[in-house]
Amino acid sequence: MLKLRELIGTGNDRMCWRHPENPAWCVKVPKATQERPQNEIDAHYARHLARRNVRGPHMPRVHDWVQTDHGPGLAFDLVQEPDGSPSPALLDAVLGGRVTPAEARELIDEAFGWLIDQRVLLVDFGIDNLLIQTRPDGRRFLVFVDGLGARKFSARYWFHRRFWLKAVWKAREFRLKTLALLDEALALRAPKG
């Protein structure tokens, strides 16, 4: 049983911990009050994408199920910087001056273009689920760390996996929403007068 000690972040449904035996991985564990099987959905959708040979820098790989002292968890690649620290959220990176607004817009266009080209379903938009990762060669990527696939197993999920127009429509919608939130955050930060 893994003893989870380094909490990286929390979302509405799950807590994300650094894997204690493999620092390049994280473990997502459902919150005690959560009833939605998001880890199961993520594992299922990852297998679906693997069968379609979809992979890339915009989506962390899903690894194995693990038993932890916080309950069962699912291991993913940890989206981290070359120094091993967790990668920052998109808005934090821009507002903190790590990336320029123009660079952020380019990263957004590239990542959402990848979603469209690969027909990957982004169904649960949350700007905090978008991280900017810097690779050792200095290249940066926007990474979707949550919200792919579905929020629940349903007929809609099965239908949208097979018929990809929803994936394209959602990616376009969420791209515009992300750009609008970026612009809104920058406008709030701009000096008055």
Predicted TM-score of the model (pTM): 0.92
Q: What is the pLDDT along the chain (193 residues), one digit of tens a residue?
A: 999 999 999 988 899 999 999 999 999 999 988 888 999 999 999 999 999 999 999 999 999 999 999 999 999 999 999 999 999 999 999 999 999 999 999 999 999 999 999 999 998 888 889 999 999 999 999 999 999 998 888 888 888 888 888 889 999 999 999 999 999 988 887 665 5
Among candidate residues 98, 63, 57, the one with its CA nearest the CA of residue 79: 57
CA–CA distance, 31 with 100 (Å, rounded to integer): 35
Q: Could you say which DSSP state residue 127 is in?
A: G
Residue type, 164: W
The angle at the Cα of 66, spanning 26 to 21, to the nearest 5 degrees, equals 55
Tokens of 92: 């934090």
Pairing of strands 130-134, 140-144: antiparallel
